[in-house]
Chains A and B, each alone.
Chain A
Amino acid sequence: EPEVTQTPSHQVTQMGQEVILRCVPISNHLYFYWYRQILGQKVEFLVSFYNNEISEKSEIFDDQFSVERPDGSNFTLKIRSTKLEDSAMYFCASSVMVGATGELFFGEGSRLTVL
């Protein structure tokens, strides 16, 4: 069964460092997303990406964050200068449908710990 894969599974970094989280969405999917879950809190939407550009982003997704699809398979989330409050589980997701319906398939997540 096709799945969304994420690397690394866990990254520890110092505050102020740049971090890149990588995702390989399901191959025929058109929409790509990043969500995050801070420990003990809700899963929160960060950004959606379609046709090589950001479709929507939340208030969390400020100038420190960026996304890129550098080739035909990878989808990355970059945090330019990490803060302590960026520590969370980051989930990549993809979906095939264009429009309001269509389920999201999530990866297993990348745990980011900022010290």
Chain B
Amino acid sequence: DQQVKQNSPSLSVQEGRISILNCDYTNSMFDYFLWYKKYPAEGPTFLISISSIKDKNEDGRFTVFLNKSAKHLSLHIVPSQPGDSAVYFCAASAYGSARQLTFGSGTQLTVLP
């Protein structure tokens, strides 16, 4: 079941530069998308979300872009900091599913000092 796909298992970026993490989905019923960050031995931590009625949502250094026609979303982190190094999960939810999230496989982001 590959309803939510993160095709890049890892990404390395220099401190201060932009990190772009990508996510694709196949289920047209998904209408709410989230990004979570996960450190080892911890649970996922919510970062940012976007509803399908929007194409962009911004929160500080984090911006999520949604392209519904392409069924693609991306997370931009600007500027990247070493503390951002973690696994980033894309997740999606469909209306009426009582928050049943479908997760991607994650992308390990490493921000190099």
Flag whether A100 is at the interface (Cβ < 8 A): yes
- Main secondary structure, interface of A, reads strand
Q: Do A31 and B99 touch across chains, with their CB atoms under 8 A apart? A: yes
A91–B106 Cα distance when bound, in Å, is 16
**Count of chain A residues near B, Cβ 8 A:** 27
Query: Total number of A-B contacts with CB less than 8 angstroms?
Result: 63
Please state if A42 and B105 are interface contacts (CB–CB under 8 Å): yes
Closest CB of chain A to B100's CB: distance in Å? 5
The answer to whether B99 and A104 have CB atoms under 8 Å apart is yes
Q: Is B93 an interface residue (CB 8 A)?
A: yes
Which residues of B lie under 8 Å from residue A93 when comparing CB positions?
Answer: 43
Closest B residue, CB atoms, query A54: B98
How far is the CB of A1 from the nearest CB of chain B, in Å? 11
Q: Is residue B81 contacting chain A, with contact meaning CB distance below 8 A? A: no
Assess the B43–A103 pair: CB atoms within 8 A: no
- Indicate if B41 sits at the interface (CB-CB under 8 A): yes
A44, A45, A48, A107 interface centre (most CB from chain B within 10 Å): A45
**Complex Cα–Cα for A43 and B35 (A):** 13
| B residues apposed to A, CB below 8 Å | 31-32, 34, 36, 41-46, 49, 51, 89, 91, 93-106
Q: List 15 A-B contacts (CB under 8 A).
A: A35-B101, A41-B105, A43-B44, A43-B89, A43-B103, A44-B103, A48-B98, A50-B98, A55-B98, A56-B100, A100-B95, A100-B96, A104-B46, A108-B41, A108-B42
Binding site for B on A (CB under 8 A): 4, 31, 33, 35, 41-45, 48, 50, 55-56, 58, 91, 93, 95, 100-109
